[in-house]
């Protein structure tokens, strides 16, 4: 499985500094047939489309849990690179199948930063596209919130 981090190219610094509305980060996730089959087996997903090529698409299709796990972990890592945090909510909508051989290009953006009793609550939105039939199509959209934790105070 190949994951390429493009955060430095998408205007969200990977080092210190407050997270602010408009910050963006991105990554590419390559899906191979072997990766899709292995992840489906690991997750216990016995749906045949994750193990043998789908007649409709001619390739194995990545499972929702596989896609969600990669996207959530990568997004959380980019946020915690900047500040300790706790994820609050994640929503993922699957709009088109991700096939073996596809590379999902995800871009997240920070859409809100609000006060919270434990720090700041950020809201983020994302869109993932794949190349298909000579163009880019939206395969998934995401949204979520996380709490950026205050640094502990000394006793």
Would you list the domain boundaries of the chain?
2-149
Instruction: Tell me the pTM.
Output: 0.84
Q: What is the mean pLDDT of residues 119-134?
A: 94
pLDDT tens by residue, 8-56: 444 444 444 689 999 999 999 999 999 999 999 999 999 999 999 999 9
For the residues 99-119, what does the mean pLDDT come to? 94
The burial of 115, by beta-carbon neighbours within 10 Å (0-12 exposed, 13-18 middle, 19 or more buried), is given as exposed
Query: What is the assigned CATH class of domain 2-149?
Result: alpha beta
């Amino acid at each position: 499985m190949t994951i390429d981090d493009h955060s430095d190219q998408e205007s969200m610094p990977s080092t210190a500094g407050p997270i602010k509305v408009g910050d963006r980060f991105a990554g590419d996730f390559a899906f191979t047939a072997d990766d899709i089959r292995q992840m489906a087996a690991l997750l216990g997903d016995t749906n045949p489309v994750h193990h043998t090529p789908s007649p409709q698409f001619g390739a194995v299709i990545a499972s929702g849990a596989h896609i969600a796990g990669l996207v959530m972990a990568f997004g959380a890592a980019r946020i915690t690179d900047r500040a300790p945090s706790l994820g609050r909510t994640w929503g993922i909508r699957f709009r088109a199948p991700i096939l073996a051989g596809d590379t999902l290009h995800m871009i997240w953006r920070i859409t809100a930063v609000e006060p919270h009793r434990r720090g700041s609550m950020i809201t983020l939105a994302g869109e993932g596209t794949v190349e298909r039939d000579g163009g880019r199509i939206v395969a998934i959209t995401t949204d979520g919130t996380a709490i950026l934790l205050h640094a502990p105070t000394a006793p």
